[in-house]
Structure 1
């Protein structure tokens, strides 16, 4: 889908606060609220906007640990890669899962209450998985920057 200047301006605003009233968006970019509504609807239908969510403080929900895990598979047959994708995607504690190039196959971002919970999860995801060759864990000491905003390149 081709995005014009107005679409990009709408996305820039929505990424900062998706509860911004369409009337306010229209006033800021020079469109009517109805035109803004149509554009947002089109961007949702075409998959440009994939979700409308609230970003929450994971510590406030009892998940203060952020853990990054590199996972290397023993066998990289497509069927086994797809099984790993399905498994990692099905675990609630896995906040993000990336299938990557390089020395490892996946990078996972986990949110967990305690290291004990992580140890239990490692048994399920890694030690109990015959196709996991090895995994390497990194525990975040502090979140310096976390954002879901994609920089808007204006044409």
Structure 2
């Protein structure tokens, strides 16, 4: 089910004030707590809201190096390599992709030497043919969802 204007208002509030109580969200939105809870339940059930964990900084956790590793996989071994990537704690995300490579992993490391160790671990995995690593120099746009939610809200109103 697509989101409506109230849903976008709820999502915006969740993004802007993530540590507020449901009661306070309902007050700010001018709706009943039960209405809000039903909307939140539906948004979770529909997969719009996927979690409520705090956002953590790898850099603050001692892993300031960020790299994107393209991984080429032997044909027919994508699932096995994907499963093996989950066992590497420095991989914070991984995706099957099109283009130059089969998988793209977002990797964090303590320093460049540690990054090299992680990449060597990836290269040694059965089914991995080769890797190509790109090191991020500076974050230009932080992970965000609010502009998308606002855009959807504008589209719903028109």
Matched, 1:143 2:139: yes
Alpha-carbon displacement from aligned partner over 1:70-106 (angstroms, at most 9, x marks no partner): 111232x2xx111121112232211111111112111
Give the aligned partner of residue 21 of structure 2. 21
1:125 offset after TM fit, Å? 1.5
Separation in 1, partners of 2:100, 2:136? 21
Give the aligned partner of residue 116 of structure 1. 113
Q: Given the alignment, which residue of 62, 78, 82 partners 1:81?
A: 78
User: How many residues are paired up?
Assistant: 151
State the TM-score, normalized to the length of structure 2. Answer: 0.83
Q: Which 5+ residue runs of structure 1 have no aligned equivalent?
A: none
State the TM-score, normalized to the length of structure 1. Answer: 0.85
Q: Which 5+ residue runs of structure 2 have no aligned equivalent?
A: none
1:14 offset after TM fit, Å? 1.3
Alpha-carbon displacement from aligned partner over 1:95-118 (angstroms, at most 9, x marks no partner): 111111112111111111122222
